[in-house]
Amino acid sequence: MKTHKFMPRGIIPPVITPLTPEGKFNEKGMRKLINHLIGGGVHGLFVTGTTGEFYGFTLEEKREIFLTAVDETKGRVPVYAGTNGITTRESVMLTQLAENCGVDAVSVLTPMFISPNQHQLFEHYKTIAASTALPVVLYNNPSKTGVSLTAATVAKLSEISNIVSIKDSSGDLTLTAEYIRLTRGNAAFNVLMGRDTLIYGALCYGAAGSIASCANVAPRLCADIYDKFIAGDLQGSLDAQFTLAPLRIAFDIGTFPVVIKESLNMLGIEAGFCMDPVGPMTTDERERLRKILVEMALL
């Protein structure tokens, strides 16, 4: 029987990584952003995820990001670290680095570029989980990696004591529901939605919350979807979900995650630019985004 006590829940922003004009990690900007997010009512913080441009940082830079997040958060909410690698040994190394930096849990994306089968994915996660005492959140994002964890594989992985959750960014609510259905008898495992337009729907199925990119920009609004749902205010939760939708749908105005960073810059939180080759938005694109933020009463 599983004994791990840690259970992810609520709205957890995959935090953007603020950069200086020189393209370096902006520690001061990160500290300000963390307080903006916690003040907005989020239930956790997730650094070096896809939104955090994990793919662009060295080992030492990731160490600095992990330590800054842990230090500034001061235990107010759990800190999750993305420890994504193409190979198992890379993910193990990053997971152990994150553990040494004092994070509360890790999230591990499926390998990208290569195409492991389900047995190989099971072994990959089993090895990573065995390398750490930290809770592990599986992360399924097939549109980015070309690899998808099946519901059967997730059900099998959920029996490993410190594998506690999965973030599903597939956008396929049937798959999310299957993850929930096949693991619902396991009280030590839950499912997190990774598509911001489907948070309410996933909560109805029994998801425990969401790792939501839009929560960088609209933390209170995203938290309302969860908080109102838990309080039994289903209409209020659904209203918040519909209010949020235009921001998530606007992601295709620019190359991800530039819409999140540009939005934060407009709100007066220095996010900086995205790493090259993801360039800034054009003047016209920025104006379209500004209009959406004004209509959502964020600006």
Give the residue numbers annotated as catalytic, written as ranges: 139, 167
**CA 283 to centroid of chain Cα atoms:** 28
**Residue 51 is labelled as binding a ligand:** yes
Q: Name the maximum alpha-carbon separation found in the chain.
A: 56
Look up residue 14 and give its DSSP letter: B
**Residue 292 is labelled as binding a ligand:** no
Paired tokens of 87: 């190979």
CA distance 225 to 210: 10
Among all chains, which residue has been given the structure tokens 């998801």?
Answer: 207
In one-letter notation, the amino acid at residue 68 is: T
Packing angle of the helix pair 283-295, 234-249 (nearest 10 deg): 170
CA distance 240 to 180: 23
Residue length of the chain: 299
**What beta strand segments (E) does 78-128 contain?**
79-82, 105-109
CA distance 256 to 60: 24
Which ranges of 74-209 does DSSP label H, i.e. alpha helix? Answer: 88-100, 118-130, 142-145, 151-157, 173-183, 199-205
- Binding-site members for pyruvate are 51, 211
- Binding-site members are 51, 211
